[in-house]
């Protein structure tokens, strides 16, 4: 390191001051740089906090787990919440209220079952050789250049290719995928600017227009539904549970967004965090060097590390639910219709659940983090994300054990998705 800070410290007094006036729609810059002291202050003093807009903000692991478990009371449907945010006729509203993650059964059940049919353990194992080849080709390019950017040149390039393969997007058509994803997910921020809405609406229009052409081609020439998610979604199940055209298109958009942003952040956050925790980095690099790449024990070690990276710096920091009837969370009564924000980033640093939670510990056992959610809405692609993280991080550290950041990495400046936009590095 060259002496610059990655995660700047925040004083307890400053954390309490932000917590006392906490409003997701008016967050100061130092919160985005390091939100965890603020989350700790909220969790200690007001873990179920009434927000200025009438919603509720939850920061305890136990409370989030209870809400995730209770799908009968807490709805994931966002039509009530998103109509005033986006306008009920906007492309963003149509997308986010039709996609898997923001829906309840029966739509959620139908779409999840179709997607999971192409993400079986066998199907994911089938992807591993191609993933290894992709990662090694990216590492070779970085070696030739003597470094690059951890995000643009490595972390972001992996999920775009994997999701492109799952949907059968031709390589020549993949260039816009990342920008579309960033624009659509950027519009999920608590405070939406007109510019964000315009970019998000344009991205949905452009992406769905492209997908109509892709779907028409796949109808003419179907792929293998065991591995091609788009073909599987088009054909539906044998019972005839086919999706409408809107459901099909919007859930293809969702698959890209869900697989791209979170995995990019996982890989980028991990490789940056190892710069801040040199003893953890040294131990992991030593383990990798001492074992063959296909060693089962090493795979298990890397899987534990990936889960700790996800806990420590959750790619997705916030989730949302709506109370279908009056209920109680953490001893606090909530009225029917209450909008609830689940702070995953805070729950994953809860000392009631995790020992020494602000310390990165790559050997952490019984790591019941909530980075993938929980219950019926647990991330459908979690096994694929773990595989991508294990292969990408493990092979990067094997090839470049002495990598170093050459400039301060640039955060994404978002509350919901925590990651970096840029992280320039050299090989040693």
Q: Domain containing 177 — which CATH number? A: 1.10.630.10
8 Å CB contact between 159 and 388: yes
Q: Is residue 79 part of a domain?
A: no
Q: Is residue 222 part of a domain?
A: yes
Helical packing angle, 296-312 and 382-399, nearest 10° = 110
8 Å CB contact between 377 and 371: no
Cα separation of 55 and 338, whole Å?
Answer: 6
The pTM is what? 0.94
Task: Work out the end-to-end distance of the chain between its first and last CA atoms, rounded to an integer number of angstroms.
Answer: 10
For 185-194, 224-233, 342-351, which range has the lowest pLDDT when averaged over its residues? 224-233
Cα separation of 254 and 174, whole Å?
Answer: 16
Cα separation of 8 and 31, whole Å?
Answer: 10
8 Å CB contact between 60 and 46: no
Q: Is residue 335 part of a domain?
A: no
Please compute the mean of the pLDDT values over residues 377-395 and round it to a whole number: 93
Q: Is residue 67 part of a domain?
A: no
For the cut 50, the answer to whether the pLDDT of residue 170 exceeds it is yes
**What is the domain count for the chain?**
1
Cα separation of 61 and 94, whole Å?
Answer: 32
What is the enclosing helix (H) or strand (E) of 320?
strand 318-323
Q: Is residue 356 part of a domain?
A: no
Q: What is the mean pLDDT of the chain?
A: 93
Q: Is residue 305 part of a domain?
A: yes
Q: What is the pLDDT of residues 130-143, one digit of tens each?
A: 999 999 999 999 99
Share of the chain above pLDDT 70, in %: 98
Helical packing angle, 278-290 and 382-399, nearest 10° = 90
Six-digit token pair at 400?
């470049």
Tell me how far CA of residue 16 lies from CA of 19, 58, 98, 168, 310, in angstroms: 5, 16, 39, 49, 26
Would you state the pLDDT for residue 399? Answer: 97
Q: What is the SS3 assignment for 327?
A: strand
Would you state the pLDDT for residue 397? Answer: 98
8 Å CB contact between 118 and 259: no
Q: Which residues pair with 321 in a beta bridge?
A: 340
pLDDT grade for 219, boundaries at 50, 70 and 90: very high
Range of the domain at 118: 12-33+85-316+373-426
Angle at 131 between CA 345 and CA 155, to 5 degrees: 40
Q: Is residue 205 part of a domain?
A: yes
Q: Is residue 385 part of a domain?
A: yes
Would you state the pLDDT for residue 1? Answer: 40
């Amino acid at each position: 390191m060259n002496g610059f800070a990655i995660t700047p410290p925040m004083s307890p007094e400053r954390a309490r001051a932000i917590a006392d006036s906490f409003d997701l729609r008016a967050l100061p810059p130092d919160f985005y740089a390091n939100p965890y002291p603020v989350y700790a202050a909220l969790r200690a003093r007001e873990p179920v906090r009434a927000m200025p807009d009438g919603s509720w903000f939850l920061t305890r692991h136990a409370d989030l787990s209870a809400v995730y478990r209770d799908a009968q009371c807490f709805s994931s449907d966002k039509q009530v919440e998103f109509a005033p945010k986006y306008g009920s006729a906007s492309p963003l509203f149509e997308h986010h209220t039709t996609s898997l993650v923001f829906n309840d059964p029966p739509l959620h059940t139908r779409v999840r079952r179709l997607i999971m049919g192409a993400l079986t353990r066998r199907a994911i194992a089938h992807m591993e050789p191609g993933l290894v080849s992709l990662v090694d080709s990216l590492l070779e390019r970085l070696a030739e250049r003597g470094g690059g950017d951890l995000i643009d040149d490595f972390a972001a390039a992996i999920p775009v290719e994997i999701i492109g393969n799952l949907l059968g997007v031709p390589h020549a058509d993949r260039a816009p995928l990342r920008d579309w994803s960033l624009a659509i997910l950027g519009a999920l921020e608590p405070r939406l600017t007109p510019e964000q809405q315009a970019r998000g609406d344009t991205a949905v229009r452009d992406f769905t227009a492209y997908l109509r052409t892709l779907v028409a081609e796949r109808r003419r020439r179907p792929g293998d539904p065991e591995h091609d998610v788009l073909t599987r979604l088009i054909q539906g199940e044998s019972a005839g549970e086919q999706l409408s055209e809107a459901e099909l298109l919007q859930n293809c958009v969702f698959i890209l967004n869900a697989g791209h942003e979170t995995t990019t952040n996982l890989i980028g956050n991990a490789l940056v965090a190892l710069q801040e925790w040199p003893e953890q980095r040294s131990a992991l690099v030593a383990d990798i060097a001492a074992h063959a790449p296909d060693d089962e024990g090493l795979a298990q070690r890397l899987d534990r590390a990936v889960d700790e990276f996800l806990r420590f710096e959750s790619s997705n920091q916030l989730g949302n639910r709506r109370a279908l009837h009056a209920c109680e969370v953490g001893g606090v009564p909530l009225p029917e219709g209450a909008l609830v924000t689940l702070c995953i980033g805070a729950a994953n640093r809860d000392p009631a659940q995790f020992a020494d939670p602000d310390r990165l510990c790559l050997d952490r056992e019984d790591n019941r983090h909530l980075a993938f959610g929980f219950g019926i809405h647990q991330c459908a692609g979690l096994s694929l994300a773990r595989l991508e993280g294990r292969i990408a991080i493990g092979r990067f550290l094997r090839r470049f054990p002495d990598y170093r950041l050459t400039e301060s990495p640039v955060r994404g400046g978002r509350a919901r998705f925590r990651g970096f936009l840029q992280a320039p590095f050299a090989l040693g």
